[in-house]
Structure 1
Amino acid sequence: MKIYIWTVLLLGATACATAYQAGAATNSDYHVPAQTNDGWPVGTLSEAAIDSTLIIQMLGQIHSNKYQGINSVLLARNGTLVVEEYFGSFDRDSLHNMKSAAKSITSALVGIAIDQGFIQSVDAKLLPYFPEYDGSIDNWDGRKEDITLKHLLSMTSGIKGNEDAMYPTNDWIKFYLDQPLVAAPGDTFSYATGGVVTLGNVITRASDLRIPDFANRYLFGPLGITVYHWPITNSRGSQGLAMTGGGLSLRPRDMAKFGQLYLNGGTWKGHRVVSENWIAESTSKQTTSDLYGEDFGYLWRMLDREVGGESIRSYEAWGNGGMVDSTSWCFPHSI
């Protein structure tokens, strides 16, 4: 078995393209990443034993607007940043809205809350965290008492998402709990941003820390992430928490750190941030998505992609926009 430890981050277009057509490009389209004090070691493509031909072709085609809407491309191999390119007005310090790719960060925060003992396990029941709604949940179904955090992480709670209708309400948690069950918990995948917003509230209630404070202490701080924007919801039921279902904005190098953290098995610069068990469990198949039929872990997508005639298993974080105006991480792991 061949093992690849790569982090690929494309912002503004879907990641992990498997082939590039030939196009006019020169070595001037590629620049060695800058050495800064953010913790990233940097190197060249040749030092990483990567053939620069296709990389340079891709960068040239982006510069010539063959692929539009791409803000940045970053590539790390074996823990070293070897490609860092920005396009248009976007630069190293620009914040990029991650859209729903931020859900994978919420997954990590849940894992950390379990590692730290704030939450017992993914099998913890959901409703006991929200006693104020006892007896007042609409569309009541006794099976709602069986919903666990694992169901929210794998989007198998059985609660219909209905995301667009959630935003105008003043209590997103209550809205989510009020939605009818369309399946028994654990039976069927159903994409639900409201469930991920609810997970953020669970972390706060379990730890007594608002999400930015929790992230700063246990995730962003250890990764050296100091600049970000996480919008605060106006939802009464979410108690003014950060919108953990999406909307977090990070700098690309910091987004790539998060990817490298997972490829490192939960460590960054030798410091344990997330348990190795959580990395393995959250990026393993828990169910099958009803969106594209791919495997789904704990707020991670897993796909088998064909590259050079070989199949590569990847786990990926995706944001709204599909082929255009999206955020994607791709972490090829093994073939």
Structure 2
Amino acid sequence: MTYKIVLWLFCANFAVAQTNYYFPKPNSTWEEKLPKEVDVSPTKLQMAISFAEENEYSGSRDLRIAILKGFEREPFHEILGPTKKRGGPAGMILKNGYVIAKWGEVKRVDMTFSVTKSYLSTMAGLAEDKGLVASTKDKVIDYIWDGTFDGEHNSKITWEHLLQQNSAWSGELWGGKDWADRPPKEGGIDDWKFEKPKEPGTVMEYNDVRVNVLAYSLTHVWRKPMPLVLKENIMDKIGASTTWRWHGYENAWTEIDGLKMKSVTGGGHSGGGIFISAEDMARFGLLFLNDGRWKGEQIISEKWIQKATTPSKPNVNYGYMWWLNKKGNRHWEGLSENIYYAAGFGGNFIVIDKQNDLVVVTRWLEPSKIGEFMKLLNEALD
């Protein structure tokens, strides 16, 4: 019996030690440690950094041009929200909360594209934590009754369907038609324009119009603009800078309680989304690495993070707007299946590696190279 108690106490203390991370203060220098101080090979770490610097995203640094080129197959595609010329490759690597590597302009504010989706997902998590949404299994029509979810098909859609991008919501929002967003490569426009929507929950379809429907719905549930919700509930509490912004389309206005509010986007493929620095992205990642706690405060429930990182049935590599490194089409071979990450157009990533107490932020890394970069970093840990 004594042996069991001692073993239990040892395991409990070990678990606490594993989550005893350093948290940077607001507006202060982020404390750094030499790689060798945290059992990381300096030489191999530098190889990973050099790889990131040498494999810059191949698209134009004028992101307006890169966006129009990247989505030229979409009928009626146009820039509807703000864009910004980007910087060069940049990033940060945190070990136990300490900076062990950084490259490029880590304070520069740039677009993040679909990394924004992971922030939007977190707004849904806060809504559930606070009881504004009872359960992600609830049908959205029970909360949003203005016609957005009317009809035999759309009325079936739950919050979970929207978060997992398998809602197959059908309609138009802010001038964007669901069928025109990321059309299939095969078949003519009439083949997929009039195709019957998939049954909600059965097929994942990456679709910004439907993501923007989620942003719109959360704006009405919170009765506040999403940037304000993010600022008050997350970014201020983790000591983020005042430089980040969250934009919507020029025409994306709605009225709540007599107040005109902007409904933001969950990405940037028509402009908009979150514009942010690598340092502020790293703070957000550190919050998730520590299971939703910042120092002593539980900001996001651990229960929500577990739900957000649970594989969806249609796609084992996707949870609630976080990508998961499970064995599937997007698996990074040789790396922990517990890794999860936010990913955006142009090579923007926030990677959470709980097993190794790591947060990795990359900006403008050629997207196809992220798996190779993470393997090089993993080799530095050995």
In structure 2, relative to structure 1, the CA distance for the partners of 1:79 and 1:179 (3 Å cut) is farther
Q: 1:227 aligns with which of 243, 252, 256?
A: 243
Gaps of 5+ in 1: 7-33
- The separation in 2 between residues aligned to 1:273 and 1:39, in whole angstroms, is 23
Deviation at 1:51, TM superposition (A): 0.6
Q: Would you say 1:73 and 2:91 are equivalent positions?
A: yes
Deviation at 1:36, TM superposition (A): 7.8
In structure 2, relative to structure 1, the CA distance for the partners of 1:172 and 1:258 (3 Å cut) is farther
Q: Which residue of 2 aligns with 1:192?
A: 207
Could you tell me whether the CA contact under 8 Å between 2:94 and 2:100 is conserved in 1? yes
- The separation in 1 between residues aligned to 2:115 and 2:194, in whole angstroms, is 24
In structure 2, relative to structure 1, the CA distance for the partners of 1:85 and 1:35 (3 Å cut) is farther
Q: Which has the higher helix share?
A: 2
- The separation in 1 between residues aligned to 2:156 and 2:29, in whole angstroms, is 43
CA deviations on 1:167-200 (whole Å, 9 max, x unpaired) are 7x1x779x99x99752111111111212221222
Residues 1-335 of structure 1: pairs in structure 2 closer than 5 A: 37-38=27-28, 40-60=30-50, 66-69=54-57, 70-86=88-104, 91-133=105-147, 140=151, 142-159=152-169, 169=175, 181-225=196-240, 226-236=242-252, 239-246=261-268, 247-289=273-315, 295-303=317-325, 304-307=331-334, 311-320=336-345, 325-334=346-355
Could you tell me whether the CA contact under 8 Å between 1:160 and 1:190 is conserved in 2? no
TM-score by length of 1: 0.73
Is the partner of 1:296 in helix, strand or coil? coil
Is the partner of 1:155 in helix, strand or coil? coil
Is the partner of 2:324 in helix, strand or coil? strand
Structure 2 counterpart of 1:211, one-letter code:
M
- The separation in 1 between residues aligned to 2:163 and 2:52, in whole angstroms, is 35
CA deviations on 1:80-125 (whole Å, 9 max, x unpaired) are 2211111xxxx23211211111101111111011111222111221
Q: Which residue of 2 aligns with 1:31?
A: none
Deviation at 1:76, TM superposition (A): 0.7
In structure 2, relative to structure 1, the CA distance for the partners of 1:224 and 1:71 (3 Å cut) is same
CA deviations on 1:5-31 (whole Å, 9 max, x unpaired) are 89xxxxxxxxxxxxxxxxxxxxxxxxx
Could you tell me whether the CA contact under 8 Å between 2:252 and 2:264 is conserved in 1? no
Is the partner of 2:265 in helix, strand or coil? coil
Could you tell me whether the CA contact under 8 Å between 2:112 and 2:344 is conserved in 1? yes
Structure 2 counterpart of 1:151, one-letter code:
H
Could you tell me whether the CA contact under 8 Å between 1:154 and 1:287 is conserved in 2? no
In structure 2, relative to structure 1, the CA distance for the partners of 1:102 and 1:181 (3 Å cut) is farther
Is the partner of 1:83 in helix, strand or coil? strand
Percent identical among aligned pairs is 22
TM-score by length of 2: 0.64
Structure 1 counterpart of 2:354, one-letter code:
H
Is the partner of 2:227 in helix, strand or coil? helix
Is the partner of 2:100 in helix, strand or coil? strand
The CA RMSD over aligned residues, in Å, is: 3.4
CA deviations on 1:217-250 (whole Å, 9 max, x unpaired) are 1111111222212223233565522223342111
Gaps of 5+ in 2: 1-14, 58-87, 182-192, 255-260, 326-330, 357-382
Is the partner of 1:196 in helix, strand or coil? helix
Runs of 4+ in 1 over 6 A off after TM superposition: none
- The separation in 2 between residues aligned to 1:132 and 1:62, in whole angstroms, is 47
Could you tell me whether the CA contact under 8 Å between 1:287 and 1:297 is conserved in 2? no
Q: How many residues align?
A: 280
Is the partner of 1:75 in helix, strand or coil? strand
Is the partner of 2:236 in helix, strand or coil? helix
- The separation in 2 between residues aligned to 1:38 and 1:208, in whole angstroms, is 33
